[in-house]
Amino acid sequence: MSIAAVLAPNKAAPADKDQAKFTVGPAAGYPAHQTSEKVTVAAEAYDTADKTRTVFGKLKPDQYGILPILVVIQNDSGQSLRIDRIRVDYVAPNGSHVDATPARDVRYLSGTRKPNVVTGPLPTGGRISRRKNPLDAWEIEGRAFSAKMIPPGESASGFFYFQTGHRAAAKLYVTGITEASSGRELLYFEFPLTDPSR
């Protein structure tokens, strides 16, 4: 087992026979990636039903205004990297930045729902909804990017969540990756999220 797998573990998933096994490929294998100083950052937007099914099962985050983006970081430098202060922004085609929503806060987002309204003068027949928020699912935090450090030759991966829809010509902007020994921050990464071959 790699050290990165220990640093960014996935919580045990409930069995779901309809859910395909989710695997992460090498960073350089994703169409949307950038390499600088022997560090490769890759990303893939999970914006279709087929993609989200393999990761989130029956949960469809896009129905609630959430765009999950897988980020993979491969460290081929000779230095350990600190990524505990990583910042990932979704950059819309007009240049506006959307900050990632912390995975622990996604469960509190509910999208648009009709409120329970009592129509009569007395609250005799009204009921309080006790429905579980569908975004309060283990997959959201269990699949989130959680690594704090990447040793040389290792990689880390996980999801960041954005309150936006995916748009053509959008980019990902990544900062806050530093060398553990010196504290020097690597140059920012900014690359299109669209497959250039399309």
Contacts of 21 (CB under 8 A, 6+ apart): 54
pLDDT values of the chain reduced to their tens digit, one per residue, 198 residues: 444 443 444 444 444 444 557 899 999 999 999 999 999 999 999 999 889 998 998 888 988 899 999 999 999 999 999 999 999 999 999 999 999 999 999 988 764 444 444 444 545 444 444 556 777 788 899 999 999 999 999 999 999 999 999 998 999 999 999 999 999 999 999 999 975 444
Contacts of 172 (CB under 8 A, 6+ apart): 32, 43, 69, 71, 88, 89, 90, 91, 189, 190, 191, 193
Which domains does the chain show, CATH number per domain?
1-6+44-109+130-198 (2.60.40)
Q: Whole-model pTM?
A: 0.79
How far is Cα 55 from Cα 159, in angstroms, rounded to an integer? 10
The secondary structure of the chain in percent helix, strand, coil, rounded to multiples of 5, reads 15, 25, 60
Residue 75 bridge partners (DSSP): 39
